[in-house]
Structure 1
Amino acid sequence: MLANSAPPRPAARLLAVAAVLAVSLPLVACTADDTQLTIQSDGGEHRFTVEVVDTPESRARGLMYVQELADDAGMLFDFKEERPVSFWMRNTYIPLDMLFIEADGTVLNIHVNARPHDTTGIPSAGPVQFVLEIPGGRSEELGIEAGDQVTHPRITAAQ
């Protein structure tokens, strides 16, 4: 406090506290761990550690140039609204499974073992908000199918 300034009034203190809370509360609400994703299938719960990409630039790059991906790792694409989407494997070095997911977390369709470097479009079967890419063949190994439910903080927020 400056020596020449008057001491703060109680109302000013209350406003300062309210301002701090107003700024802090949204941050608290957004601290959910968005690296953890779970798929509930007939075979049980399957957990993946994911990187979320949600900008045009990050979605365009995706898993291009990645040389390996752990069995329990993946990338979750968030398009922020439901719409038909299509992917390709240009500059992608590893086979991938693509799970096309509706806003409510329901797996709409799965493309298994997308071929590296293939520029053929891989479309969703309808409007989706999310696409999960995991190592090629992993969805079949785990028994993940269309209709299974995906849980993630972004998906919960989209509902």
Structure 2
Amino acid sequence: MMRRLLLLAGLLAPFSLAAQPGVDRPQPKLPEERLAIVSRDGTRHEFRVEMAVRPEHQTIGMMFRTEMQPEEGMLFDWGAPRESTMWMRNTLIPLDMVFIAADGRVHRIHERAVPQSLATISSGGPVRATLELQGGTAERLNLRVGDRVEHRVFGTSR
């Protein structure tokens, strides 16, 4: 009987909520790509971004991460323009969220999202992607609506 219980526990372990990334631990680092934001004055800001393209990666995002470097980010590619809504559940660090239209233009910026907040943060219109950066990056780099994002997702990579 004990052997059957141990076998059953072993089979069910992968389905346990406590054993899943995003429930109590971060997901492994996702594949990275280069991305640049070009401001109105032509200044180029380079980033290495993790690519969150699969729904399960997008659901977890930056949950339980304890740090993000100034040149890092996470790009959520929605595949096609749509309203993007984000929240900070289980996210331990402040983030700036840059909502990017299909043509690569910055549509909206939400600065310093509050860690662990359940408040909805909306793109305020259809966007192709959402870029999460270290909190305070938009202010530090003087990013603005209308700035241009260069990346293959927008057909604007260099």
* TM-score normalised according to structure 2 size: 0.76
- Corresponding residue for residue 56 of structure 1: 55
CA contact (8 A) 1:42 1:143 kept: no
Distance across 1 between alignment mates of 2:154 and 2:49: 13
* TM-score normalised according to structure 1 size: 0.76
- Displacement, 1:91? 0.3
Q: Secondary structure at the match of 1:84?
A: strand
> Are 1:37 and 2:35 counterparts?
yes
Distance across 2 between alignment mates of 1:67 and 1:83: 29
Q: What letter matches 2:40 in structure 1?
A: D
Aligned pair count?
Answer: 125
- Corresponding residue for residue 145 of structure 2: 146
Distance across 2 between alignment mates of 1:34 and 1:130: 15
Q: Secondary structure at the match of 2:155?
A: helix
- Corresponding residue for residue 112 of structure 2: 113
- Displacement, 1:100? 0.2
- Corresponding residue for residue 30 of structure 1: none
Distance across 2 between alignment mates of 1:60 and 1:155: 22
CA RMSD of aligned residues (A): 1.4
CA contact (8 A) 1:111 1:122 kept: yes
Q: What letter matches 1:124 in structure 2?
A: S
Q: Which runs of 5+ in 2 are unaligned?
A: 1-30
- Displacement, 1:34? 6.0
- Displacement, 1:42? 2.9
Runs of 4+ with deviation above 4 angstroms = none
Q: Which runs of 5+ in 1 are unaligned?
A: 1-32
Q: What letter matches 1:109 in structure 2?
A: R
Distance across 2 between alignment mates of 1:89 and 1:50: 18
- Displacement, 1:153? 1.4
Distance across 2 between alignment mates of 1:34 and 1:74: 9
> Are 1:131 and 2:157 counterparts?
no
CA contact (8 A) 1:51 1:76 kept: yes
Distance across 1 between alignment mates of 2:32 and 2:134: 19
Superposed, 1:85-104 pairs within 5 Å as 85-104=84-103
State the identity %.
42
Q: What letter matches 2:115 in structure 1?
A: P
